[in-house]
Amino acid sequence: MKTIIVGGGLVGCAVALELARRGREVVCLERAVPGAEASSAAGGILAPRVEAHGDEDARVLGLESLGMYEAWLASLGADVGYRRSGVLVARPESPDRDAVVLSGAELARVAPGLKVQQAWWLSDEALLDTRRLVPAVRAAAEAAGVRFRSGVSVAKVESGAVLLEDGERLEGEVVVCAGAWTPAVSGLPPLPVRPVRGQLAAVADTAATTAVVFGPAGYLVPRHDELVVGATMEEVGYQRGVSAGGVRHVLDHAIQLAPALAASTFLRAWSSFRPGSPDGKPLVGRAGGVWVASGHFRNGILLAPLTAARLADAMLDGAALPPAWRPDRFA
C-alpha cells in the first residue's frame, strides 16, 4: 500500500525513511523544500533530561530516542556534526536527578568562556548541526525509494487520500507531519498544535564552550564554525522574521553567560515555528481517518528516530504507541 506523507520536515523525512526501509512505497509532499522550516532552524540540542522538566514520560521517551541516535545517524552514512558534547546548566536548581555539579578547573576546561561559579553537568546529552540533518535524512530516504515532491501544498486530508491545492487527488494511507501548520490542514479533527516562534542568532566565537550551555533564559550551542545562541519563545502566530527585541534578548542572555562574546563577530539571525503542544509532548497516532506525527514542540530533533520507529511499528504491525503521545489525550 502507498503511504503519503504530508510535510517534509525532519519528522516527515524520518517517518518516510523508516516506512520505505520496511518495504512501503512512500511519497512525501512538501509545500516548500524539505527542511524549509523548524527542522533546519533548530539549535540541534539532544537533551532529554533538561527538556523533560520533571515529566517522567517525556524523560523516558526522550532518553529512548537519544539512545537510538548514534545507530540511526550511522545508518544515514552522513556526517551531521553529531557530538556527545554534554550539557551544562547554569541555573540554581538541579535540572535532573542525574546532574552533578561542575566547578573550578573542570568547568573552565569544558566552557572556558563561561563566567559562572558553578553549573550542573549532564555528560550524556548531545548536539548536532541541523543545517546538515534534513538533507542527510532526505538523501537516505530517496536512496530507500521515497519520492519527494517539493512545492506541493496539501489542502485537505481524508481517510485514504489527500487533495492538493491545485485540485489533484492522490490516494494512499495518509500521515500528517505538517509541524506548526498541522491545524491548517483541513480534514483533521481539532488538534491543539500551535506555532511558537523561536529566534536564534549566531556569532563567530567557537572557543567559548565545547558543551551546550543552558542559562536562565536560553542556551549556547557550539558548532565547528559558529556559536548558536537562542532562543525566544513567542506566541505571535505565524508572523515570520526576526525582531530587534528578539535578537537583543538572545544576544544579551549569551553575553551575560559569557561576557567575551560581546566582542565576537555577529554572523546572522533567523527564526522558525516550533509545533507547540499543551504539555510539550508530541501528538503521534490516529486522528480521524489518518495518522499524525506533530506537536514535537522543543524536542522534534531529539524525538525523530523514536517517532519514526514507533509510528512504523503501529502502522505496519499494529503495535501500541506511547499513551503519553496520544493525539486525543486533550479531548
Ligand X SMILES: Cc1cc2nc3c(=O)[nH]c(=O)nc-3n(C[C@H](O)[C@H](O)[C@H](O)COP(=O)(O)OP(=O)(O)OC[C@H]3O[C@@H](n4cnc5c(N)ncnc54)[C@H](O)[C@@H]3O)c2cc1C
Binding site for ligand X (CB under 6 A): 6-12, 29-32, 36-39, 41-45, 153-154, 177-181, 185, 198, 200, 230-231, 272-275, 294, 296-302
Q: Which of 231, 249, 256 is nearest to 114 (CA)?
A: 256
Comparing CB distances to ligand X, the nearer of 185 and 191 is 185
**Kind of pairing, strands 147-150 and 126-127?**
unpaired
Which of 155, 260 has the CB closer to ligand X?
155
Convert 134-158 to b/e letters by CB count within 10 Å (16 or more is b): bbbbbebbbebebebeeebbbeebb
Q: How far is the CB of 93 from ligand X (least distance, A)?
A: 21
Strands (E), 184-316: 194-203, 212-215, 218-222, 227-230, 266-276, 283-287, 290-294
> Which CB atom, from 113 or from 282, has the smaller least distance to ligand X?
282
CB of 155 to ligand X, least distance (A): 7
Q: Tell me how far, at minimum, the Cβ of 167 lies from ligand X, in Å.
A: 14
Determine if the peptide bond prior to 231 is cis (ω within 30°).
Answer: yes
Nearer to ligand X, 113 or 305 (CB): 305
Closest approach, Cβ 315 to ligand X, in A, equals: 17
137 or 261: CB nearest ligand X: 137
319: CB partners within 8 A, 6+ apart: 310, 313
Report, in Å, the least distance between residue 31 CB and ligand X.
4
